[in-house]
Amino acid sequence: MIDVSMPRLSDSMEEGVILSWLVTEGQEVAPGDDLVEIETDKANMTFEADGAGLVHIVAREGDSLPVGAPIAQLLSPGEEPEAEGAPSQSAPEPEAEAEPAPKAEPEPEPERREPEPGRRVKASPLARRLAAANGVDLAALTGSGPGGRIVKADVLAAKAAPAEPAEDKRTPEPGGKGTVTTVEINRLQTTIARRMAESKATIPHFYLSTEIDMGRCAEARARIKETLGADAPSLNDMVVKAAALALRRHPKVNGAYRDGSFELYSRANVGVAVAAEDALVVPVIADADRIGLTEIAATTRRLAAKVRDGSISPPELSGGTFTVSNLGMLGVTEFEAVINPGQAAILAVGAIVERPAVRGGELVPAKLMKATLSCDHRILYGAEGAEFLASVKAMLEEPAALAL
- The per-residue pLDDT for range 132-158, each reduced to its tens digit, is 777 888 888 887 765 577 877 788 788
Please state, for a pLDDT cut of 70, what percent of the chain lies above it.
83
pLDDT at 103: 47
pLDDT at 269: 97
Mean per-residue pLDDT for 293-317? Answer: 89
* Mean pLDDT over the full length of the chain: 84
Residue bearing the bigger pLDDT, 339 or 108: 339
pLDDT at 332: 95
pLDDT at 180: 87
For residue 202, what pLDDT band results from cuts at 50, 70 and 90? Answer: very high
87-97 confidence digits (pLDDT tens): 444 333 444 44
Q: Give the pairing of strands 280-281 and 362-376.
A: unpaired
Q: Which residues contact 161 (CB under 8 A, 6 or more apart)?
A: none
Mean per-residue pLDDT for 254-277? Answer: 92
Residue bearing the bigger pLDDT, 97 or 65: 65
For residue 164, what pLDDT band results from cuts at 50, 70 and 90? Answer: low
Q: Name the phi and psi angles at 163, rounded to 5.
A: -135, 155
User: Which residue ranges form the domains of the chain, and what is each CATH number?
Assistant: 2-96+113-160 (2.40.50.100), 202-403 (3.30.559.10)
- The answer to whether the predicted template modeling score (pTM) of the entire model surpasses 0.85 is no
pLDDT at 389: 98
Mean per-residue pLDDT for 287-313? Answer: 91
Q: Is 205 a catalytic residue?
A: no
- DSSP secondary structure of 27-65: -EE-TT-EEEEEE-SS-EEEEE-SS-EEEEE-SPTT-EE
315-330 confidence digits (pLDDT tens): 888 899 999 999 999 9
CA 329/CA 306 separation, integer angstroms: 20
Pick the catalytic residue: 56, 205, 250, 377?
Answer: 377
Residues paired with 365 in a beta bridge: 356
- Angle among Cα 212, 401, 328 to the nearest 5 degrees reads 35
pLDDT at 326: 95
Q: Is the pLDDT of residue 342 over 50?
A: yes
Length of the chain: 404
For residue 101, what pLDDT band results from cuts at 50, 70 and 90? Answer: very low
Which among 325, 334, 402 has a CA at the least distance from the CA of 369? 334
For residue 218, what pLDDT band results from cuts at 50, 70 and 90? Answer: very high
pLDDT at 297: 95
Cα dihedral sign, 20-274-348-390: positive
Please state, for a pLDDT cut of 90, what percent of the chain lies above it.
50
Residue bearing the bigger pLDDT, 94 or 389: 389
DSSP, collapsed to helix, strand or coil, labels residue 269 as coil
Which among 403, 401, 325, 338 has a CA at the least distance from the CA of 370? 325
For residue 199, what pLDDT band results from cuts at 50, 70 and 90? Answer: very high
